[in-house]
Chains A and B, each alone.
Chain A
Amino acid sequence: MKIAILRFGGSNCDLDVQKALNNLGAETELVWYKEVLEGFDGVIIPGGFSYGDYLRAGAIAARTKIMQSVREMAEDGKPILGICNGAQILSESHLVPGTFTLNQYPKFVCKWVKLLKIGRSPFTTFSSEIVNLPIAHKEGRFVVPSQLLKELYENDQVVFKYVDDNGRPTSSANPNGSRDNIAAVSNLEKNVLAMMPHPERASEKLLGSVDGNVIFESMISYMNTL
Protein backbone atom coordinates (compact mmCIF):
# COMPACT_ATOMS: atom_id res chain seq x y z
CA MET A 1 0.00 0.00 0.00
CA LYS A 2 1.54 3.26 -1.11
CA ILE A 3 0.35 6.87 -0.97
CA ALA A 4 1.46 9.47 -3.51
CA ILE A 5 2.08 12.98 -2.20
CA LEU A 6 1.89 15.34 -5.16
CA ARG A 7 4.28 18.25 -5.58
CA PHE A 8 3.67 21.24 -7.79
CA GLY A 9 5.80 24.34 -8.11
CA GLY A 10 4.99 26.12 -4.85
CA SER A 11 3.75 23.13 -2.81
CA ASN A 12 5.23 23.49 0.66
CA CYS A 13 3.47 21.09 3.04
CA ASP A 14 4.60 17.98 1.16
CA LEU A 15 7.31 16.96 3.62
CA ASP A 16 5.10 17.62 6.64
CA VAL A 17 2.42 15.35 5.18
CA GLN A 18 5.03 12.71 4.42
CA LYS A 19 6.40 12.81 7.97
CA ALA A 20 2.91 12.54 9.48
CA LEU A 21 2.13 9.51 7.29
CA ASN A 22 5.48 7.86 7.90
CA ASN A 23 4.92 8.28 11.66
CA LEU A 24 1.80 6.15 11.16
CA GLY A 25 3.75 3.51 9.25
CA ALA A 26 2.39 4.32 5.80
CA GLU A 27 4.55 3.98 2.73
CA THR A 28 4.71 7.24 0.80
CA GLU A 29 6.35 8.70 -2.25
CA LEU A 30 6.71 12.33 -3.29
CA VAL A 31 5.58 12.69 -6.89
CA TRP A 32 6.57 15.74 -8.95
CA TYR A 33 3.72 16.84 -11.23
CA LYS A 34 5.64 15.98 -14.40
CA GLU A 35 6.10 12.37 -13.30
CA VAL A 36 3.77 9.47 -14.05
CA LEU A 37 1.27 8.67 -11.30
CA GLU A 38 1.29 4.89 -11.28
CA GLY A 39 1.17 2.13 -8.70
CA PHE A 40 -0.42 4.12 -5.90
CA ASP A 41 -3.40 3.28 -3.71
CA GLY A 42 -4.18 6.81 -2.65
CA VAL A 43 -3.17 10.42 -3.24
CA ILE A 44 -2.65 13.41 -0.98
CA ILE A 45 -2.39 16.88 -2.50
CA PRO A 46 -0.63 18.95 0.15
CA GLY A 47 -0.89 22.64 0.94
CA GLY A 48 1.23 25.48 -0.32
CA PHE A 49 0.96 28.19 -2.92
CA SER A 50 1.09 26.31 -6.20
CA TYR A 51 2.05 28.66 -9.03
CA GLY A 52 1.90 31.62 -6.67
CA ASP A 53 -1.91 31.36 -6.46
CA TYR A 54 -1.91 33.09 -9.86
CA LEU A 55 -5.35 33.56 -11.45
CA ARG A 56 -7.08 31.77 -8.55
CA ALA A 57 -5.65 29.55 -5.82
CA GLY A 58 -5.23 26.07 -7.29
CA ALA A 59 -6.34 27.07 -10.80
CA ILE A 60 -3.06 26.40 -12.59
CA ALA A 61 -2.19 23.13 -10.81
CA ALA A 62 -5.72 21.86 -11.51
CA ARG A 63 -5.02 22.00 -15.25
CA THR A 64 -1.84 19.91 -15.17
CA LYS A 65 -1.69 16.49 -16.77
CA ILE A 66 -1.12 14.67 -13.50
CA MET A 67 -4.55 15.84 -12.30
CA GLN A 68 -6.07 13.78 -15.11
CA SER A 69 -4.42 10.73 -13.54
CA VAL A 70 -5.79 11.79 -10.15
CA ARG A 71 -9.26 11.97 -11.73
CA GLU A 72 -8.87 8.41 -13.05
CA MET A 73 -7.78 7.17 -9.62
CA ALA A 74 -10.79 8.92 -8.09
CA GLU A 75 -13.05 7.16 -10.59
CA ASP A 76 -11.45 3.86 -9.53
CA GLY A 77 -12.58 4.58 -5.96
CA LYS A 78 -9.13 5.29 -4.56
CA PRO A 79 -8.98 7.88 -1.75
CA ILE A 80 -7.84 11.37 -2.72
CA LEU A 81 -7.25 13.94 0.02
CA GLY A 82 -6.62 17.61 -0.75
CA ILE A 83 -5.42 19.79 2.12
CA CYS A 84 -5.62 23.60 1.94
CA ASN A 85 -4.08 24.45 -1.45
CA GLY A 86 -4.74 20.79 -2.29
CA ALA A 87 -8.43 21.39 -1.52
CA GLN A 88 -8.40 24.42 -3.79
CA ILE A 89 -6.81 22.31 -6.54
CA LEU A 90 -9.53 19.65 -6.13
CA SER A 91 -12.32 22.22 -6.40
CA GLU A 92 -10.65 23.88 -9.39
CA SER A 93 -10.46 20.40 -10.95
CA HIS A 94 -14.20 20.00 -10.30
CA LEU A 95 -13.45 16.80 -8.38
CA VAL A 96 -15.44 18.23 -5.47
CA PRO A 97 -18.37 20.66 -5.71
CA GLY A 98 -18.22 24.34 -4.81
CA THR A 99 -15.17 26.54 -4.66
CA PHE A 100 -12.79 28.10 -2.13
CA THR A 101 -12.25 31.81 -2.62
CA LEU A 102 -11.00 34.94 -0.85
CA ASN A 103 -11.80 35.06 2.89
CA GLN A 104 -14.64 37.30 3.99
CA TYR A 105 -12.06 39.61 5.58
CA PRO A 106 -9.42 39.48 2.87
CA LYS A 107 -6.43 38.50 4.93
CA PHE A 108 -4.40 35.41 5.69
CA VAL A 109 -5.91 33.57 8.67
CA CYS A 110 -3.63 31.28 10.68
CA LYS A 111 -5.19 29.80 13.82
CA TRP A 112 -6.48 26.67 15.53
CA VAL A 113 -10.08 25.79 14.83
CA LYS A 114 -12.56 23.23 16.11
CA LEU A 115 -14.18 21.05 13.49
CA LEU A 116 -17.37 19.09 13.87
CA LYS A 117 -17.61 15.88 11.91
CA ILE A 118 -20.82 16.00 9.89
CA GLY A 119 -20.83 13.54 7.01
CA ARG A 120 -19.55 10.02 6.74
CA SER A 121 -16.48 9.49 4.60
CA PRO A 122 -13.51 7.11 4.37
CA PHE A 123 -11.43 9.90 5.93
CA THR A 124 -13.59 10.23 9.05
CA THR A 125 -14.19 6.71 10.34
CA PHE A 126 -12.81 7.69 13.78
CA SER A 127 -15.00 8.01 16.88
CA SER A 128 -14.41 11.58 18.04
CA GLU A 129 -17.00 14.12 16.92
CA ILE A 130 -14.77 17.19 17.21
CA VAL A 131 -11.15 17.60 16.14
CA ASN A 132 -8.74 20.52 16.70
CA LEU A 133 -6.71 21.46 13.65
CA PRO A 134 -4.94 24.57 12.41
CA ILE A 135 -5.94 26.55 9.35
CA ALA A 136 -3.59 28.79 7.37
CA HIS A 137 -5.11 30.36 4.29
CA LYS A 138 -6.34 33.50 2.58
CA GLU A 139 -8.63 31.80 0.06
CA GLY A 140 -10.65 29.38 2.16
CA ARG A 141 -14.17 30.77 2.02
CA PHE A 142 -16.35 27.97 0.72
CA VAL A 143 -18.84 29.21 -1.85
CA VAL A 144 -21.61 27.07 -3.27
CA PRO A 145 -24.92 27.93 -4.97
CA SER A 146 -27.98 27.28 -2.77
CA GLN A 147 -29.40 24.47 -4.89
CA LEU A 148 -26.05 22.66 -4.88
CA LEU A 149 -25.72 23.18 -1.13
CA LYS A 150 -29.05 21.42 -0.66
CA GLU A 151 -27.76 18.49 -2.69
CA LEU A 152 -24.56 18.40 -0.62
CA TYR A 153 -26.61 17.92 2.54
CA GLU A 154 -28.94 15.38 0.92
CA ASN A 155 -25.96 13.38 -0.29
CA ASP A 156 -23.99 13.67 2.96
CA GLN A 157 -21.08 15.50 1.29
CA VAL A 158 -20.49 18.15 3.96
CA VAL A 159 -17.75 16.48 5.99
CA PHE A 160 -16.52 19.11 8.51
CA LYS A 161 -17.87 22.40 9.84
CA TYR A 162 -16.11 25.09 11.85
CA VAL A 163 -17.72 25.16 15.30
CA ASP A 164 -17.35 26.91 18.67
CA ASP A 165 -16.38 25.31 21.98
CA ASN A 166 -19.91 23.97 22.33
CA GLY A 167 -19.88 22.35 18.92
CA ARG A 168 -22.17 24.92 17.31
CA PRO A 169 -21.49 26.32 13.83
CA THR A 170 -21.81 29.97 14.88
CA SER A 171 -20.72 32.94 12.79
CA SER A 172 -18.00 33.78 15.34
CA ALA A 173 -16.59 30.27 14.90
CA ASN A 174 -16.47 30.79 11.13
CA PRO A 175 -12.90 31.93 10.38
CA ASN A 176 -13.35 32.91 6.73
CA GLY A 177 -17.04 33.41 5.93
CA SER A 178 -17.56 29.93 4.46
CA ARG A 179 -21.12 29.07 3.52
CA ASP A 180 -22.74 27.29 6.49
CA ASN A 181 -19.30 27.13 8.23
CA ILE A 182 -18.23 24.39 5.81
CA ALA A 183 -14.55 23.44 6.17
CA ALA A 184 -14.44 20.21 4.16
CA VAL A 185 -16.50 18.76 1.35
CA SER A 186 -16.42 15.46 -0.51
CA ASN A 187 -17.45 14.18 -3.92
CA LEU A 188 -20.66 12.20 -4.29
CA GLU A 189 -18.83 8.88 -3.92
CA LYS A 190 -17.04 10.16 -0.74
CA ASN A 191 -13.55 9.01 -1.80
CA VAL A 192 -12.37 12.53 -2.66
CA LEU A 193 -12.12 14.96 0.26
CA ALA A 194 -11.17 18.63 0.06
CA MET A 195 -10.41 20.18 3.45
CA MET A 196 -8.99 23.60 4.31
CA PRO A 197 -7.59 22.67 7.78
CA HIS A 198 -4.17 21.01 8.03
CA PRO A 199 -4.21 17.57 9.72
CA GLU A 200 -0.43 17.21 9.23
CA ARG A 201 0.10 20.28 11.41
CA ALA A 202 -1.62 18.43 14.26
CA SER A 203 0.18 15.12 13.95
CA GLU A 204 2.64 15.18 16.86
CA LYS A 205 2.37 16.22 20.51
CA LEU A 206 5.08 18.79 19.93
CA LEU A 207 2.78 20.57 17.48
CA GLY A 208 0.06 21.00 20.11
CA SER A 209 -2.38 18.34 18.95
CA VAL A 210 -2.40 14.88 17.40
CA ASP A 211 -6.00 15.18 16.22
CA GLY A 212 -4.95 15.23 12.58
CA ASN A 213 -3.68 11.67 12.74
CA VAL A 214 -7.19 10.23 12.90
CA ILE A 215 -7.86 11.53 9.40
CA PHE A 216 -4.75 9.89 7.97
CA GLU A 217 -5.46 6.70 9.94
CA SER A 218 -8.97 6.59 8.51
CA MET A 219 -7.58 6.98 5.00
CA ILE A 220 -5.02 4.21 5.60
CA SER A 221 -7.68 1.83 7.02
CA TYR A 222 -9.87 2.50 4.01
CA MET A 223 -7.02 1.70 1.62
CA ASN A 224 -6.45 -1.59 3.44
CA THR A 225 -10.02 -2.61 2.59
CA LEU A 226 -9.63 -1.94 -1.15
Chain B
Amino acid sequence: MLFRAEITIKLKNGMLDPEAATIKNALKHLGYECRSVKQAAIFKLEFEADSRQNATDVAEGMCRRLLANPIIHDYDIELV
Protein backbone atom coordinates (compact mmCIF):
# COMPACT_ATOMS: atom_id res chain seq x y z
CA MET B 1 0.00 0.00 0.00
CA LEU B 2 1.18 3.49 -0.74
CA PHE B 3 1.23 5.82 2.24
CA ARG B 4 1.74 9.54 2.40
CA ALA B 5 3.34 10.90 5.55
CA GLU B 6 3.84 14.45 6.65
CA ILE B 7 6.63 14.74 9.18
CA THR B 8 7.17 17.97 11.10
CA ILE B 9 10.52 18.49 12.78
CA LYS B 10 10.64 21.32 15.29
CA LEU B 11 12.92 22.53 18.03
CA LYS B 12 12.04 21.34 21.51
CA ASN B 13 10.22 23.86 23.69
CA GLY B 14 12.60 26.33 25.25
CA MET B 15 15.38 25.75 22.71
CA LEU B 16 16.96 28.91 21.34
CA ASP B 17 15.95 29.46 17.68
CA PRO B 18 18.22 32.23 16.35
CA GLU B 19 16.69 32.12 12.86
CA ALA B 20 13.15 32.51 14.17
CA ALA B 21 14.33 35.39 16.38
CA THR B 22 15.80 37.11 13.32
CA ILE B 23 12.57 36.57 11.39
CA LYS B 24 10.55 37.95 14.33
CA ASN B 25 12.71 41.07 14.17
CA ALA B 26 12.25 41.42 10.42
CA LEU B 27 8.47 41.15 10.85
CA LYS B 28 8.71 43.92 13.45
CA HIS B 29 10.46 46.14 10.90
CA LEU B 30 7.41 45.65 8.67
CA GLY B 31 5.10 46.70 11.47
CA TYR B 32 4.06 43.23 12.66
CA GLU B 33 4.54 42.73 16.38
CA CYS B 34 4.62 39.04 17.28
CA ARG B 35 4.88 37.68 20.80
CA SER B 36 6.73 34.70 19.42
CA VAL B 37 7.79 33.18 16.12
CA LYS B 38 8.67 29.54 15.70
CA GLN B 39 9.68 27.68 12.59
CA ALA B 40 9.69 24.03 11.65
CA ALA B 41 10.65 21.78 8.75
CA ILE B 42 8.01 19.70 7.02
CA PHE B 43 8.88 16.57 5.05
CA LYS B 44 6.25 15.12 2.72
CA LEU B 45 6.99 11.52 1.91
CA GLU B 46 5.40 8.77 -0.13
CA PHE B 47 6.41 5.19 0.52
CA GLU B 48 5.14 1.65 0.44
CA ALA B 49 4.25 -0.16 3.67
CA ASP B 50 2.23 -3.26 4.61
CA SER B 51 -0.10 -1.52 7.02
CA ARG B 52 -0.81 1.78 8.70
CA GLN B 53 1.07 0.64 11.79
CA ASN B 54 4.02 -0.42 9.65
CA ALA B 55 3.99 2.96 7.88
CA THR B 56 4.05 4.76 11.24
CA ASP B 57 6.95 2.58 12.39
CA VAL B 58 8.88 3.32 9.20
CA ALA B 59 8.32 7.07 9.59
CA GLU B 60 9.37 6.82 13.25
CA GLY B 61 12.57 5.13 12.16
CA MET B 62 13.28 7.88 9.63
CA CYS B 63 12.87 10.52 12.34
CA ARG B 64 14.98 8.70 14.90
CA ARG B 65 17.77 7.76 12.51
CA LEU B 66 18.10 10.85 10.36
CA LEU B 67 15.43 13.52 10.11
CA ALA B 68 15.48 14.68 13.76
CA ASN B 69 18.29 15.23 16.21
CA PRO B 70 16.95 13.90 19.55
CA ILE B 71 18.96 16.43 21.56
CA ILE B 72 17.23 19.47 20.07
CA HIS B 73 14.17 18.27 18.12
CA ASP B 74 10.65 16.96 18.64
CA TYR B 75 8.74 15.51 15.72
CA ASP B 76 5.17 14.83 14.66
CA ILE B 77 4.16 12.19 12.17
CA GLU B 78 0.89 12.44 10.32
CA LEU B 79 -0.20 9.77 7.88
CA VAL B 80 -2.29 11.37 5.20
Contacts and interface: CB of A to CB of B under 8 A. Distances in A.
Contacts of B18: 102-106, 177
B67 interface: yes
A145 B71 contact: yes
A45 B19 CA distance: 28
Contacts, number: 31
Interface string B58-78: 000000011101011000000
B66 A55 contact: yes
A3 to B, nearest CB: 29
B19 A101 contact: no
B71 A98 contact: yes
15 contacts: A63-B65, A92-B69, A98-B71, A99-B69, A102-B18, A102-B19, A104-B16, A105-B18, A106-B18, A106-B19, A106-B22, A143-B71, A143-B72, A145-B71, A177-B18
Interface residues of A, number: 18
Interface of A: 55-56, 59, 63, 92, 98-99, 101-106, 141, 143-145, 177
Main secondary structure of the interface of A (DSSP, over half): loop
Contacts of B15: 143
A105 B21 CA distance: 9
Interface string B1-32: 00000000000000110110010000000000
Contacts of A144: 71
A100 to B, nearest CB: 10
Nearest to B18: A106
B66 A63 contact: yes
A105 B19 CA distance: 8
Contacts of B69: 56, 59, 92, 99, 101
A177 B16 contact: yes
Contacts of B72: 99, 101, 143
User: Which 9 A-B pairs have CB atoms at the shortest separation, nearest pair first?
Assistant: A106-B18, A99-B71, A106-B19, A102-B18, A99-B69, A104-B18, A143-B72, A106-B22, A101-B72
Given A106-B19, A143-B72, 7 more contacts: A55-B67, A63-B66, A92-B69, A99-B69, A101-B69, A103-B18, A141-B16
Contacts of B71: 98-99, 143-145
A98 B16 CA distance: 15
A205 B62 CA distance: 47
Contacts of A99: 69, 71-72
Contacts of A59: 66, 69
B11 to A, nearest CB: 9
A106 B24 CA distance: 13
